[in-house]
Amino acid sequence: MTDHVLRLSRISLRTRFTLLAVALVFGITLLLSWVAARHSADQLEANIGASTAESAYQMVDKLDRSMDARIKEVKLLLGIEALTTGIDNNQLRTQLETLQDNYNVVSWIGFTDPNGVVQAASGGILEGASIAERPVFQNGREGMWIGDVHDAVLLSQRLPNPYGEALQFVDIATPVYTQDDTFLGVLAVHLSWEWAAYIQRAMFSPAQRRQGTELFLLSADGTVLLGPDDMLGQPINALTPLVTSATASPTWTIERWPDGQRYVTGVARSQGYEDFPGLGWVAVSRQPIEQAFAPVERLQYVIIGVGVLLALIFAVIGWVMASRLTAPLTRLSHAADNIHDTTQTPSDIPLETGSPELKRLSTSMRNMVGRLLDQNRTIRHLEDLANSDPLTGLPNRTFLNHYLLNALPEAQRQQQSIALVYIDLDGFKQVNDELGHHAGDLLLIDITQRLQDVLRVDDLVVRWGGDEFAMVLQAPTHLLEALTHDVSQRVITAITQPVALPEHPAVTVSCSLGAAWWPEHSQDIEEVMRLADAALYTAKEKGKHRLVIHQP
């Protein structure tokens, strides 16, 4: 820390002012560039997300409209005369096949009697078979019914399947009545789910394919109806909260999918369209976040790059201008930097006359330097008085507190510990009472010299107050206990030696010592002081004339 302060103090005022101006221009330019880049990026991200959500909405909207068209086509089928006029089944089959040929999404059309037996069907498939247990008949006889995507059961082996893939249908069924409302049967239509896959593929533009965009269609319970082959029929549990909260309005968010990747995910729920009430389908569009937001990163790089270039240009301009403006200040700063001891005089500050402001500044600096030099001498004298004991000349407890503030970080850097040892003289009060305070003062001065003699150069002893002293010992942790005992024993030995006092017989006193260690006993140095003080009282209680080290 001290080295950094010294290096900083060597930098001239001109350089500091110039660097400050450059830093301000550079920082402001970079900040504005970052704000512009961030704002543009946020807007671009919102546009990308909205585009993803719009893709999902377009897909579900096209599916809804297509289903509505299929329902209308089924309603048109009800107008076939052969359904209600009793024309034979062969003629009805011919008309159904003609209609099927005109609508390539229709895989099968059939008409049942009231009991669910197929009377006529396209291609003759399932004629004579009963579908009374199938949902298409049971729901269709109650009214217009649309069944969700499902696998083929009865038709899987009878319909053409050149690719061998599992056949899936969407069912539409409606009851057929005569003009006098007599129930004749159910008209059932199986729509090939391939038309939905075709709509999905038609949604992709070449750009979306390059960007890795994928479209999914999920059922109301989150099962994949359209999507990659390895995910068909599988529920996407990770998206369940998103699917259940999806609304008609397209929304987007960034989600982590089951593969662990994060995607920009757009969602839109089917709300139906006109005659199609909707089946709760949810369209999902996803795009890898790295590819989706690649334009954002490029935009940020461009804006920040331009900002850095502008900052450099302005920094150079600022450097040149600051250099010219700070030349007089530089001279004053050099002169002020040289005012570092009492040998300097205010006249060492140059009198700048280039402008009224500079003249007032240099004059004020001269006056200020004179006052500061006087105050500095006074402060040093007061500090000596405040930090030392007037009787013994030892540092006092105020100095100890300042000393520890610097000693603790330094000991921590050097991986050393500190022992704080409190010393209390035993028998000092008796000397004061019997021989007088002057004799007590002489005794304290003699004890002070003995304490200084037994300590190492780097150790510290302070007068804590009255007949109490404190020592600060510093050593590696594994040596601290031995050092504490060694120094304490030397202190006890030195203090117990008789003290010769003028005009009085020699007197003998002893001492009690209490010690605690930092940081072993506590990280708080004030707590260590309290522990050392408590150890001192323990030493007195145990008979005095001994050392007691705090035991956690």
User: What is the DSSP secondary structure assignment for residue 248, as one 8-state letter?
Assistant: S
**408-413: long-range contacts at Cβ-Cβ below 8 A with a sequence spacing of 24 or more?**
408/518, 408/525, 411/474, 411/518, 412/519
Phi, psi (deg, nearest 5) at residue 131 = -120, 30
**3-class secondary structure, 45:** helix
Complete DSSP assignment for 335-392: HHHT--STT--GGGS----SSHHHHHHHHHHHHHHHHHHHHHHHHHHHHHHHHB-TTT
The answer to whether the CB of 467 falls within 8 A of the CB of 424 is yes
The answer to whether the CB of 29 falls within 8 A of the CB of 310 is yes
Task: Indicate if 453 belongs to the active site.
Answer: no
The residues near 437 (Cβ < 8 Å, ≥ 6 apart) are none
The answer to whether the CB of 182 falls within 8 A of the CB of 261 is no
Note the helical H segments in 247-355: 289-292, 294-325, 327-337
Phi, psi (deg, nearest 5) at residue 148 = -70, 175
- Judged on CB neighbours under 10 Å (0-12, 13-18, 19+), 27 is exposed
Other C-beta atoms closer than 10 Å to the C-beta of 123 total 17
The residues near 386 (Cβ < 8 Å, ≥ 6 apart) are 398
Distance of CA 516 to the CA centre of its chain: 42
**Cis preceding-peptide flag for 498 (omega within 30 of 0):** no
Q: Which of 467, 486, 524, 533 is catalytic?
A: 467
- Judged on CB neighbours under 10 Å (0-12, 13-18, 19+), 326 is buried
What are the b/e assignments for 280-291, b being 16+ CB within 10 Å?
bbbbbbbbbbee
The answer to whether the CB of 499 falls within 8 A of the CB of 532 is no
Question: Torsion angle of alpha carbons 351, 357, 360, 365, nearest 10°?
Answer: -70
**3-class secondary structure, 204:** coil
The answer to whether the CB of 225 falls within 8 A of the CB of 170 is no
HSE (side-chain half, CA atoms, 13 Å) at 133: 4
The residues near 378 (Cβ < 8 Å, ≥ 6 apart) are none
Q: What is the largest CA-CA distance in the chain?
A: 151
Residues serving a catalytic function are 467
